[in-house]
Amino acid sequence: MRVTFTVNGRTRTADDVWEGESLLHVLRERLGLPGSKNACEQGECGSCTVRLDDVPVCSCLVAAGQAEGRDVVTVEGLAEHARHRAAERGRERDVPDTDRPEPATGGPRTAGADTLAPVQRAFVDAGAVQCGFCTPGLLVAADDLLARCPDPSDADIREALSGNLCRCTGYEKIMDAVRLAAARQEGS
């Protein structure tokens, strides 16, 4: 079947989609957006979290056909989404460019990110990224939390991120990152 929907502000179409494919599979394998991750494909780990019509969902549990005509934001579009949201709130500000040299990563793609969402920057700065496989899903969830709740308590953060598994960090640096992003948001 053919599926057409908006991804990160652009209309995208995927052809020859088998009816049983998940939104996650279409994003990763047909639209060249592998940022949403495939850690469990059973709705337990949150690594595939995307925004679907502005609601964070596990894209592994969304049938591709369900996305027809709808609006999807993935981690690849998170910085733009955050900027857009900030602009809507009338307080757009410059997000500093990344100033670190990036190595090649052994894969077919190379670095191209010139700006980051505040929550992405905070994850890098706080050391919340180790293997990084859980990071995209956590970022979508954390960004959503901070949009809804600019000054979250620790219990709020833990509750909001309880659907996202991480195996590397022990979560403490992830807590630090969300606190940092909230504080910077407050101070801006």
Partner 1 sequence: MGTDPTPTGLTRPTRAPGGIGVSTLRPDGTLKVTGEFAYSSDMWHEDMLWGQILRSPVAHAEIVSLDVSEALALPGVHAVLTYDDLPTAVRHYGLEIQDTPVLAHGRVRHHGEPVAAVAADHPETARRAAAKIKVEYRELPVVTDEDSATAPGAPVLHPDRADHHSHRVPHPNIVHRQPIVRGDADAAARRADAVVRGEYVFGMQDQAFLGPESGLAVPAEDGGVDLYIATQWLHNDRAQIAPVLGLPEDKVRMTLAGVGGAFGGREDLSMQIHACLLALRTGRPVKIVYNRFESFFGHVHRHPAKLHYEHGATRDGKLTHVRCRIVLDGGAYASSSPAVVGNASSLSVGPYVVDHVDIEALALYTNNPPCGAMRGFGAVQACFAYEAQMDKLAAELGLDPVEFRRLNAMEQGSRLPTGQIVDAPAPVAELLRRVKARPMPPERQWETTEGADIRQLPGGLSNTTHGEDVVRGVGYAVGIKNVGFSEGFDDYSTAKVRLESAGGEAVAVVHTAMAEVGQGGVTVHAQIARTELGVDQVTIHPADTQVGSAGSTSASRQTYMTGGAVRNACALVRERALELGRRRFGSHHPAWATAELRLEDGHVVTEAGEVLASLADVLDDEVIEEEREWRHRPTRSLDPRTGQGDGHLQYSFAAHRAVVEVDTGLGLVKVVELACAQDVGKALNPLSVIGQIQGGTVQGLGIAVMEEIVVDPVTAKVRNPSFTDYLIPTILDTPSLPVDMLELPDANAPYGLRGVGEAPTLSATPAVLAAIRAATGLELNRTPVRPEHLTGTG
Give the binding range for partner 1 (CB under 8 A) out of 51-59, 81-89, 128-136, 179-187: 128-136
**Judged by CB, which is closer to partner 1: 55, or 155?**
155
DSSP letter (8 states) at residue 98: P
Subset of 35-74 contacting partner 1 (CB under 8 A): 35-42, 44-45, 47, 74
Q: Exactly one of 63, 83, 175, 185 binds partner 1 (CB under 8 A); which one?
A: 175
Any bridge partners for residue 50, and if so which? 57
Subset of 9-28 contacting partner 1 (CB under 8 A): 18, 20-21, 25, 28
Q: How far apart are CA 164 and CA 157, in angstroms?
A: 11
Q: How far apart are CA 109 and CA 41, in angstroms?
A: 24
Binding flag, residue 82, partner 1 (CB under 8 A): no
Binding flag, residue 95, partner 1 (CB under 8 A): no
Q: Exactly one of 10, 89, 94, 105 binds partner 1 (CB under 8 A); which one?
A: 105
**126, amino acid identity:** A
Measuring CA to CA, how many Å separate 106 from each of 22, 85, 110, 111, 124?
Answer: 27, 34, 9, 11, 20
